Amino acid sequence: MSGAPATVVPEVLTPEWRAPRAVHAAFTLRGGGVSVAPFDSLNLGAHVGDSPAAVAENRRRVRVGLNLPAEPAWLDQVHGTRVADLDAPGETGRAPADAVITRRAGEVCAVQVADCMPVLFAERDASAVAVAHAGWRGLAAGVLEATVAKLGIARGGLIAWLGPAISVRHFEVGGEVRAAFLPGDPGAAAAFAPNARGRWQCDLGALARRRLAALGVTEVSGGTWCTYADPARFFSFRRDGRCGRMAALIWLE
């Protein structure tokens, strides 16, 4: 890469939800970057074995192309429940965390995914936003509950958007995954369909919606895209193994 950096608008999905005008959000797709296979091309993950220079350029393209007010807080995601608060003194988002919140304009919350479900949150009066990394482990452990608790917003005050994730058709799991959800919510059994191999097809979106409804988050949009089934637009770890990462981003104006 030489000369002046190119101004490239990255390929993104823009959430269709009833968020306040001061809330901005985007989900990056895999096109519009500089990474080579198997990370081609807009890989934003610095932990997957891609060239650091390519990742830095891809992140620059996202920052410039989306006119972000700051570099996103790139989390060290561990499929846990810790929620980073970008308003807290000394918080950079670099400690292990799987969700991040802010109440201030100028901070950009982000999570990276390649089959797990990203869940965006916005307060109805634009006083706070958040995003959570919700794979099955995080969902079962309570990452959505931890995020809503950290926001501290009255029941009914949040709306949510479910981003692209692996769909029930392609997400085969063992009985241990199903067993992780049932003790606290027997109704979660409806999100698991038995298959001919004696295993289960898991509906991440249904599990997320159940958890959100129990938290009083009833206005939920999105959840219609399958990362596994659309290789032209999405990275998928389950499909490809070694691959890049996309990002769900949210910030306040």
CB-based contacts of 234, cutoff 8 Å, min separation 6 = 29, 30, 114, 164, 225, 226, 227, 228, 246
Q: What is the CA 232 to chain-centroid distance, rounded? A: 19
pLDDT given for residue 10 in this prediction = 87
Measured between alpha carbons, how far is 140 from 227 in angstroms, rounded to an integer? 21
CB-based contacts of 98, cutoff 8 Å, min separation 6 = 75, 77, 78, 79, 80, 81, 82, 83, 111, 132, 133, 138, 143
CB 74 within 8 A of CB 112: yes
5 vs 242, which has greater pLDDT?
242
Q: pLDDT of 14-27, one tens digit each?
A: 999 999 999 999 99
Per CATH, the number for 12-252 is 3.60.140.10
pLDDT band at 90 (very low <50, low <70, confident <90, very high): confident
Q: pLDDT of 27-38, one tens digit each?
A: 999 999 999 999
pTM: 0.94
Mean predicted confidence (pLDDT) in 57-73: 96
Flag the least confident range among 3-7, 66-70, 152-156, 177-181.
Answer: 3-7
Q: How is the chain split into domains, by residue range? A: 12-252
